[in-house]
Amino acid sequence: MICQVESSVSPPPVESEEMANIVASAWELERDAARLARGITAPCSWGNIFEQSREIVRLSIYWPAPLRAGWRDNSKIATCAAALQSAARALDCVSLRATTGGHSAREAGLWAACAFALGGNFPSACVVLKRTFPRLDVNSALVPLASQRSWNDGSAALIAAFAPTLAPLVADQSAFAARVADGALNDEDDNWLSLLQAEVSPQWFELAVASFEGARALSTLRAFDERGGSLRGHLWSELLSRRVPLLLPPQKVALERGFLECDAGAIAALPPGTGKTWLGEMFLFESLARADVNLTDEQSSPIGVFLVPYVALGRGVATALKKHARGLGVDVRIWLSGEGDEADLPTTPTIIVATPERFDGAWRADPTLSARLCGVVVDEAHLVADGARGARLETLIARLKMADVRLLLLSAATGDAEALGQWIGAPTQLQLHSSWTPTARRLAFWRQNGVLEWHGELAGHGLTPLGKTFLPWPRRELRAGDSWVQMQKQEGAVWGNVAHLARIRWEEQGGAVLCLCATRRGVRQLARALMSAFPEQTEANGARAQALSLIETRHRTLLPLARLLRHGIAWHSAALPSDLRALIERAVSEGEIRALASTRTLAEGVDLPWNQTILADWLSWSERGWQPMESGLFRNIAGRCGRAGAFTEGDTFIFDNPLGPSQWTAPDVRAGVQRAQFLEAPRHAPPSALQCLEGENLSPAITATWESGLTALLAWHNSERGPLDINELADAFYLSGRDHARWDEALQHVLDAWLLGEWAVLESDGRWTSTARGQALARADLSPQTASRLLDALASLPRRAPQSSDDAATINAQLWHVLQNVPEADNASLWAPRSKFPVRPADLTLVARDWLEGVPVATMFAALPRVRESKGFPGETALSAWLDGENDAGHKMDDTDADWTQQFDRFGDWTRSSLGTWSPRLWRACAALSPLVTSRPDLKSWEWSRFAARFAGGISTDWAVAALRLNAPGGRETLATWGRFWPFPPTASDPLGLAPLVQDEENALTRAETAFAQSLHEVGGAFCARGTSIKALRDWLWARAGVTK
């Protein structure tokens, strides 16, 4: 076989002194290259870096493929692989210089690409090749290579794809391509290699063959062939269609260790950009295949679940799953925000992408769901430490463990896979923790004296010092101050400095710059500073143009953001409407945004092409006051800078912001705190949320979630397994292994609550059983104390069942008044005696009614008595101007510290969390608990669940609820308007009431067009802002019904 490179050179033994010297030399070369690239003096010149790095690459040709890429479970092998990564990164830095040491950027780029490919880092290899040869379609070339199971399967596809890829190595490119096309397509297997060997130098031929062998070793097809399985054929074709032909080394390790086939739990603690989500997808596909084989015809179809903490992350996962699932007979559903319906469980093999809250609620409602669960992936599993959400996640995973469901935990932030792995029963080989990343990450502190302190994360090493450069702050008048007044007065200087750095980095490096702030107020102010610092942008295209149109037609209070977008600048936070957030994220991916100011929500879990990240606020607010950003969160944020496949490295800057409490920001302590938190912090396992204390007691919200979660576990166990031996719980919970004393205390607290409220009984054999009250409490998803208060409230409700939005709003306000300050509600600001919150308790009925009627949130805000009475913007004219996007900031509401925009943000958060989340939860709890109110048998017939769905969507009709779940265009305001006029009643099989249109019934289209006209008239006509959304919804409905008019 000509593909076997014959050479007298043999690699030194892995543990030899010679190999150790090679490894040490490679790390020094990467460090020197990183120094020179940032203007730092280095002992090695560019020419020497090129020559020495090239020699390491030449030598590595003769290493076995596992040694080069490091996917075998051997620390020495991983070290050698890291050395090749370092040489590749050094050559990549050389290639970015036009001419260095007499070597062209083209030659250095070829060597860098080969070095990356030899080490299994094909994402970076492709980036370098695209940069070196812009017209080369590298991704297409990889697909046929990876699809060859062996060199004997024929070379037609290889030749067709690799002729342009290999052409840069050939002296006469056009002649070589012509000879391949004329005579090699039907020749013997290795003729194309013979042809290549005749055209290129021996060293390039050896590099090409070694790279091809490495690619075949990481071939996704070969990995599936070696494993077998019923999913391989269809799944492989879908992976090829998405151009995912090659595995990354950590994925190769996971497959070789048996992650997909495991019966026990598994955990992958990998840095961002290393393919964790892909592993989760394959785990669920394999789970469905295994379950489908094992289930009998009488059993229901299997369900896999992918749990995500954030809606944006979940939508990205669902999009990838839908593409992979084509042709597999697997449905993909979404339970995120207002999308999806938990009551409509699938009847075919399905993967559900859900938040833990939505999935937990569905399982509580139907305990038999566990019998259909074949596998569950938990993304960002380190969030078991995250307050009440962490407590819910821990109790949910404990229930999954006891149900014997296959589990895969994923995390990019935990430094200790062992603790979480032991919790879920994962054997050692299924606890994967790797520091391998496809991109190089660098970190710099920008000190107040203008010094940039550079640190580099070398391949196989942690962060090490690189050196210092100098970039003066344009506004140096900042002084440490911890009073709110001092901080506000100096914020403008902070944003000006950060914007200056962003402009400098954008000019030097290109790509989008992400600037992170601790507050939404800071995000807006920084975005304005960025607009002032950057030159004007060209005409908007793609998603940026769509975002501008959306603001002008549906979100006019955000016209200040439109002015930013026209300059290629934007801001991003959870306060933005979801449709606008999605368009801004798309605009970043399309290269239409140059700099973006954001809260940390965009940096966690969302994969966007940043190569520069600036941390404007290194302190963040928590229940304990201002604290340094948690080190695990910082690693997660920094790890997303430099997206694999788009860049080969990413730089993160920490602005030495002196504003904040003096215990952190005083000049003599600030640098030490930052180094300890961001450079030296040990990587440890996350704590349990129940280890987070407030004084001597647990946080009320954590306690309530813990009690509710244990109640749900007991109810499930009684329903599916029988009475519960409480001693079985210790192995199921993470807290027990982390802090047994706290576990005993927390468990006893719940047991006492169960007995006190008669929610459970202790049987004579020492086991526990839920009472009928306990079963209802589990479905209610409330703590025992809150449920007791709700039962009292239900008994005092009026005798008339709710029929309209007005009725529901009145009952909702009555329930809220009785349950004020319960820990589940999280709306203490509403009830505080001297609260400055814009909503008062007396306004609850008004805002709930407007919410259900689909009134725009900005209009709801402007209608609040406190807003209308405010002296900050006197008169209707000023209020109308604000609603139309004028007066961006600076106008205060009476004696509050926040301007109208900030107060509107708070109101928007409140409507989503209180009206859109707490109220539906409360009404579903009423549905579960109402049968227990013996004095009010009529309550059982009230349509609690129906109104819960309407509160969740902020809409008043069943039609609008169904349209929202189907992700119809237009948002809640448009759907609410259309739903009031739609003439055809929805049914379970036809939730949008489209059957008359589909069946072309007499006058059906005329009646539907009349509804359209009435909706347009309601919002002000076809040419007003909301009229455009009404027309878009009409087009969507007509397309679903097959109407061509």
Give the 3-state secondary structure of 530-544. Answer: HHHHCCCCCCCCHHH
How far is residue 213's CA from residue 207's CA, in Å, rounded to a whole number? 10
Q: What is the pLDDT of residue 906?
A: 87
Confidence band for 872, pLDDT divided at 50, 70 and 90: low
Residue 695 has pLDDT above 60, yes or no: no
How far is residue 453's CA from residue 279's CA, in Å, rounded to a whole number? 37
Q: What is the pLDDT of residue 7?
A: 38
Q: What is the pLDDT of residue 526?
A: 94
Residue 341 has pLDDT above 70, yes or no: yes
Confidence band for 937, pLDDT divided at 50, 70 and 90: very high
Q: What is the pLDDT of residue 714?
A: 95
pLDDT greater at residue 532 or residue 897: 532
Residue 781 has pLDDT above 80, yes or no: yes
How far is residue 968's CA from residue 933's CA, in Å, rounded to a whole number? 39
- Pick the range with the lowest mean pLDDT from 286-295, 391-400, 432-441, 464-473: 286-295
* Backbone torsions φ then ψ of 432, nearest 5 degrees: -100, 120
Q: What is the pLDDT of residue 691?
A: 79
Residue 43 has pLDDT above 60, yes or no: yes
Q: What is the pLDDT of residue 581?
A: 86
pLDDT mean across residues, the chain? 81
- Pick the range with the lowest mean pLDDT from 91-95, 256-260, 622-626, 887-891: 887-891
- Pick the range with the lowest mean pLDDT from 132-141, 516-525, 668-677, 899-908: 132-141
Q: What is the pLDDT of residue 191?
A: 53
How far is residue 217's CA from residue 5's CA, in Å, rounded to a whole number? 16
Q: What is the pLDDT of residue 184?
A: 39
Give the C-alpha distances (Å, rounded to integers) separating 739 from 411, 840, 1022: 22, 42, 63
For residue 541, which amino acid is it? Answer: N
Confidence band for 421, pLDDT divided at 50, 70 and 90: very high
pLDDT greater at residue 803 or residue 200: 803
Q: What is the pLDDT of residue 770?
A: 93
For residue 341, which amino acid is it? Answer: D
Residue 327 has pLDDT above 50, yes or no: yes
- Pick the range with the lowest mean pLDDT from 251-260, 685-694, 979-988: 685-694
Rounded mean pLDDT, 365-374:
89
Q: What is the pLDDT of residue 144?
A: 47
Residue 643 has pLDDT above 90, yes or no: no
Task: Quote the DSSP letter at residue 616.
Answer: S
Cβ-Cβ contacts under 8 Å for 1016 (sequence gap 6 or more)? 1022, 1027, 1030, 1031
Q: What is the pLDDT of residue 149?
A: 44
Q: What is the pLDDT of residue 655?
A: 95
Rounded mean pLDDT, 936-946:
93
Strand-pair category, 331-335 with 350-354: parallel
Give the C-alpha distances (Å, rounded to integers) separating 13 from 16, 17, 74, 482, 526: 5, 9, 14, 58, 55
Q: What is the pLDDT of residue 235?
A: 58
Q: What is the pTM of this model?
A: 0.88
Q: What is the pLDDT of residue 1?
A: 28
Give the C-alpha distances (Å, rounded to integers) separating 714 from 711, 733, 759, 787, 790: 5, 14, 10, 17, 21
Give the C-alpha distances (Å, rounded to integers) separating 945 from 218, 638, 744, 860: 51, 43, 37, 25
Report how many helices (DSSP H) and strands (DSSP E) the chain contains, helices first: 47, 24
pLDDT greater at residue 550 or residue 718: 718
- Domains of the chain with bracketed CATH: 17-218 (no CATH), 224-433 (3.40.50.300), 445-534+594-678 (3.40.50), 689-781 (1.10.10.10), 791-953 (no CATH), 970-1041 (no CATH)
Q: What is the pLDDT of residue 395?
A: 96
Per the structure block, which two tokens stand in for 66?
Answer: 């596992």
Confidence band for 313, pLDDT divided at 50, 70 and 90: confident
pLDDT greater at residue 883 or residue 1007: 1007
Residue 47 has pLDDT above 80, yes or no: yes
Q: Which helix (H) or strand (E) holds 331?
A: strand 331-335
CA atoms within 13 A on the CB side of 624: 11
Confidence band for 806, pLDDT divided at 50, 70 and 90: very high
Sequential DSSP letters for 780-797? HT--HHHHHHHHHHHHTS
Rounded mean pLDDT, 402-426:
88
pLDDT in tens, 874-927: 566 777 777 777 755 444 434 444 577 788 888 988 998 899 999 999 999 999
Residue 9 has pLDDT above 50, yes or no: no
Residue 275 has pLDDT above 70, yes or no: yes
Q: What is the pLDDT of residue 163?
A: 42
783 touches 754 (CB < 8 A): no
- Pick the range with the lowest mean pLDDT from 256-265, 662-671, 819-828, 1027-1036: 1027-1036
Q: What is the pLDDT of residue 174?
A: 52
Rounded mean pLDDT, 425-442:
89
* Backbone torsions φ then ψ of 336, nearest 5 degrees: -135, 135
pLDDT greater at residue 90 or residue 161: 90
pLDDT in tens, 606-637: 778 888 999 999 988 776 778 898 887 888 88
Percent of the chain scoring above 70 in pLDDT = 82
pLDDT greater at residue 958 or residue 393: 393
Percent of the chain scoring above 90 in pLDDT = 33
